[in-house]
Amino acid sequence: MEPRDSALDPVAIAYVRALLRPRTRVHKIGPVLAAAAFAAVCAISFATVMVLAPPAVTQHLPEDRLGGP
């Protein structure tokens, strides 16, 4: 029996095969780039603040070295 003599509708078979074909997922790159840019800005700003800020721990001089009474 040749395929032309088949009782199955070729359009319906093509439709079913299209439904059974696994779908390809589209990966969105926008949110990933936004998160990476946000992390980069936070890291650069934190590094800038750490370089420009005065030290958190200071050592005070004793009274006898300040020239007091």
Question: What span, in angstroms and rounded, lies between the C-alpha atoms of 69 and 56?
Answer: 29
What are the helix and strand counts (H, E) for the chain?
A: 2, 0
Instruction: Return mean pLDDT, the chain.
Output: 84
**pLDDT of 44-53, one tens digit each?**
999 999 999 8
Q: For the whole model, what pTM was predicted? A: 0.48
Domain boundaries, the chain: 3-50
Q: Which amino acid is at 23?
A: R
Question: What span, in angstroms and rounded, lies between the C-alpha atoms of 14 and 20?
Answer: 10
